[in-house]
Amino acid sequence: MKTTLKNWPLALTILLILFINNPVHAQGSQESTIEHYKNQKPLVLDIRFCACKAIDLESDEMEPIPSFFEQARAIKVGALEREVGFVSSGGMTFGYSISPDKETDLYVFEHSANYHDSKESVSSQSVISIGLDSWVVIGGYANITERGTEYFSVAVKLAVSQ
């Protein structure tokens, strides 16, 4: 088969498509893109919520109990050290503000949240100081009924993006 100048645009197009669809090239491109986006948001806000108890009231520990993490839904979002944001998932609508505390190594974290499903609707708001890599329960609700106690809890953690 003789190659003519008429076939060059078609041949180049085919080579370009093969190069772009090559798994090695596509994976490397995706990894560099993910790293690019992670670098734009150096922190991760991890929000956990569930219709369960978050802390053991008979303990001095203030971190969420293991059963909370087993049952909780998670929302993770990249964040800046100074940011106002909003996320929504699984019935939870969550607005937040993050800013460094001027006097400590902590962050001022302000939130307003609303959770609703077919059975309940729960809202919470708070302003707290939060450190990196520590879970903080920011919302808790208990309703004692004839069937037992119904709970709803929200916890957050601010961490360096990895």
User: What are the residues whose beta carbons fall under 8 Å from the beta carbon of 104, sequence distance 6 or more?
Assistant: 129
Using 50, 70 and 90 to split pLDDT, how confident is the model at 144?
confident
Choice among 23-32, 59-68, 138-147 with the minimum mean pLDDT = 23-32
Residue-level pLDDT at 147: 86
∠ CA 95-67-108, rounded to 5°: 30
- What's the average model confidence in pLDDT over 26-37? 64
**How far apart are the C-alpha atoms of 99 and 107, rounded to whole Å?**
5
Residue-level pLDDT at 34: 76
Query: For the chain, first and last CA: distance in Å?
Result: 54
| pTM score of the predicted model | 0.76
**What six digits make up the tokens of 59?**
């303990």
